[in-house]
């Protein structure tokens, strides 16, 4: 962890101190969400991650990597994911230290949003009781994936989301920010490849029905190709999905680095600026994939960003 923290820090320093890159980066305004403490830890052994170690990781994320947002856990049942059993404690701890977060360089964030995943309508009240103002929700483009991952069909998931968003329409909840993860873009670990037009239909449906601040396209299998991503994104633009709403959750290893670089570069070029990143090399849907690819790291993202900023056409 320390190795790629140091590498990404050196890249950040270059971005901070080179006037040309600073001017360009000010216009780009990328928004990074750290998912180390949620997606990064969900495949880990609870005994290896006591809350003291989680807090140490939180400090490194907040004060070294300086993301805009951080997911500190999930209100999933601790019987299903014991490692998430202290999410409420982590949320309040993170909320209490966020006032210490400050960055004098104006191109980097000066505020930090503390986010929690809410996996179901049954868990929504727990999030509300804890005064969570940045909530994430889950769906996918695969019925088989949903049944194995959350024990609901796609239709049951949509009914659950309908109930969630009805509650969030109430005046007292108007300030809550909402992010929807859509998994299995463009492949399901159980069903295989999924029809792109069906995926587009699902994304557009969620965009129309719910008032979302972010629609995060999740490459669950780590097999998303640049050409498929380009087709999806360009079609979403055509149907009026705002670029500012689109986020990207990639899983990257040596087998798909080239495709991932093209995808990140294309996103930046087309004003898609929301990316999930992680300080850990673990993560993914262990219930459906035996060997998961790690989440996109800061090192990989900043490497892509640096290459983008140093293009000849900038």
Task: Give how many domains the chain has, as a whole number.
Answer: 1
* Residue listed under structure tokens 């495709």: 259
The answer as to whether 268 is a domain residue is yes
Give the structural domain span for 295. 2-309
CATH number of the CATH domain containing 16: 3.20.20.70
Per-residue confidence in pLDDT tens, the chain, 314 aa: 334 445 555 666 666 677 766 776 677 789 999 999 999 998 889 999 999 999 999 999 988 888 899 999 999 998 889 999 999 999 999 998 877 765 544 455 567 899 999 999 999 999 999 999 999 999 999 999 999 988 999 999 999 999 999 999 999 999 999 999 999 999 999 999 999 999 999 999 999 999 999 999 999 999 999 999 999 999 999 999 999 999 999 999 999 999 999 999 999 999 999 999 999 977 666 555 666 789 999 889 988 988 888 876 65
Provide CB contacts within 8 A for 154, sequence distance 6+. 139, 140, 142, 143, 146
Alpha-carbon Rg for the chain, nearest whole angstrom, is: 18
Q: What angle do CA 278, 219, 11 make, to 5 degrees?
A: 35
User: Nearest Cα to 206, choosing from 217, 195, 196, 191?
Assistant: 217
The answer as to whether 264 is a domain residue is yes
The answer as to whether 50 is a domain residue is yes
Count of C-beta atoms within a 10 Å radius of residue 231: 16
The answer as to whether 235 is a domain residue is yes
The answer as to whether 314 is a domain residue is no
What is the rounded CA–CA span in Å between residue 56 and residue 58?
Answer: 5
User: The pTM is what?
Assistant: 0.91
The answer as to whether 189 is a domain residue is yes
The answer as to whether 231 is a domain residue is yes
Determine how β-strand 69-74 pairs with β-strand 192-193: unpaired
The answer as to whether 45 is a domain residue is yes
Task: Provide the Cα torsion 292, 298, 300, 301; round to 10°.
Answer: 110
């Amino acid at each position: 962890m320390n190795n790629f923290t140091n590498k990404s820090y050196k890249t950040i320093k270059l971005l901070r101190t080179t006037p040309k890159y600073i001017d360009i980066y000010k216009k780009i305004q990328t928004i990074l969400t750290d998912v180390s403490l949620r997606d990064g830890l969900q495949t880990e052994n609870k005994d290896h991650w006591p809350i003291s170690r989680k807090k140490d990781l939180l400090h490194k994320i907040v004060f070294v990597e300086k993301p805009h947002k951080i997911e500190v856990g999930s209100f999933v049942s601790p019987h299903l994911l014991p490692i998430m059993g202290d999410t409420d404690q982590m949320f309040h701890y993170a909320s209490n230290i966020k006032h210490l977060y400050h960055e004098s360089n104006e191109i980097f964030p000066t505020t930090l949003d503390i986010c929690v995943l809410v996996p179901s309508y049954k868990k929504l009240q727990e999030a509300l009781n804890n005064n969570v103002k940045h909530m994430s929700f889950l769906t996918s483009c695969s019925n088989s994936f949903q049944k194995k991952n959350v024990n609901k069909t796609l239709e049951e998931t949509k009914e659950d989301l309908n109930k969630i968003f009805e509650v969030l329409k109430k005046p007292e909840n108007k300030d809550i920010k909402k992010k929807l993860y859509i998994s299995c873009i463009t492949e399901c670990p159980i069903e295989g490849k999924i029809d792109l037009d069906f995926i587009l239909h699902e994304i557009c449906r969620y965009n129309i029905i719910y008032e979302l601040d972010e629609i995060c396209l999740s490459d669950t299998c780590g097999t998303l190709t640049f050409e498929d991503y380009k087709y999806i994104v360009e079609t979403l633009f055509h149907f009026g999905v705002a670029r500012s709403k689109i986020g990207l959750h990639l899983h990257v290893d040596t087998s798909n680095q080239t495709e991932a670089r093209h995808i990140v570069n294309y996103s930046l070029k087309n004003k898609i600026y929301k990316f999930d990143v992680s300080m850990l090399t673990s993560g993914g849907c262990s219930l459906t994939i035996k060997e998961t690819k790690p989440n996109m790291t800061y090192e990989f993202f900043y490497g892509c960003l640096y290459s983008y900023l140093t293009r000849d056409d900038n």
